[in-house]
Amino acid sequence: MQHLRTAANTRMGSATQADTAEVSRVLRNTYLLLSMTLAFSAVTAGIAMAIGLSHGAGMIMSLAAMGLIWFVLPRTAESAAGIGVVFAFTGLIGAGLGPIINHYLATANGTSVVFQALGGTAFTFLGLSAYALISRKDFSFMRGFIAIGIMVMIGSMLLLLGASMFGYHMPILSLVFSAGIILLMSAIILFQTSAIIHGGERNYLMATTSLYLAIINIFTSLLHLLGAADD
C-alpha cells in the first residue's frame, strides 16, 4: 500500500511539473511572438506612413487582417503555418495604422499625442500583465463581462458608423466608446494572461493575437481621447 501511495505521489508530482513547464513554455512563446509582431507592425506602419497610404487602403488592409484572424488562423493555429498567418495579420494591422498615425502627426501637437498614446499603452499592458503574473489571480470570472462588452462595443460601433454615414456626429458618444474600449481591452489582458497561467490557454498563437488586438485597440483609443483633449 505504501508503495502504491508513493507511486501515486510521484505521478502527481510529475504531472504538476509538466503543467508548470507547459505554462512557462506558453508564456515564453506568447511574449516572444508578441514582441516580434509588435516590432513587425511598427515597420509596416512606418512604410505605410512613408508612402502616404490612404485611409481607404488602410481600412481595406484592416478588414483583410480581420478576415485572416476569423477564418484562417483557427484552421492553422496548431501548425507552423499559423505563425505566418499571425505575422501577415499583424503586418496588415500595422499598415492600416499608418494613415491614422499620420492624421494625428499632422495636428499641432500630434507628435506629443502619439508618444503619449504609446507610453500609456505600454504602461497599461505591462502593469496589467505584471499584476496577473505576480498575483496569480484567476480572472476567468470576467468571461461574461467581456462577452457582453464585445457585443456592446459592436453595437456602439455600428451606431457611430451609421450616424456618420447620414452626416450625424456624436463626439461625446465617440469619446465614451473609446474609454469603454480601453476598459474592455484591459479586462481582456487580465483574462488572457490568467488563462495561460491557469491552463485555460495552451495555444500561444491564439494568446498572442488576443493580447496583440488588446494592445492595438488601447493605443488607437488613447489616440482618440488624447487627440480630442488636445483639440
One-letter amino acid at 8 equals A
How sure is the predictor about 4, in pLDDT bands with cuts at 50, 70 and 90?
very low
One-letter amino acid at 230 equals D
Interatomic CA distance for residues 69 and 72, integer angstroms: 6
- Please tell me whether residue 136 adopts helix, strand or coil conformation: coil
- Kindly tell me if the per-residue pLDDT of 92 is higher than 70: yes
Q: Is the pTM of this model over 0.85?
A: yes
Confidence (pLDDT) at 170 = 80
Instruction: Tell me what the mean pLDDT of segment 99-108 comes to.
Output: 94
Interatomic CA distance for residues 175 and 173, integer angstroms: 5
Confidence (pLDDT) at 171 = 84
Interatomic CA distance for residues 170 and 160, integer angstroms: 7
Q: What would the pLDDT profile of 151-197 be if each residue is shown by its tens digit? A: 999 898 888 878 777 777 788 888 999 999 999 999 999 999 999 99
Other beta carbons within 10 angstroms of residue 104's beta carbon come to 19
Per this entry, what is the length of the chain? 231
Interatomic CA distance for residues 72 and 85, integer angstroms: 7
Interatomic CA distance for residues 96 and 117, integer angstroms: 17
Confidence (pLDDT) at 25 = 93
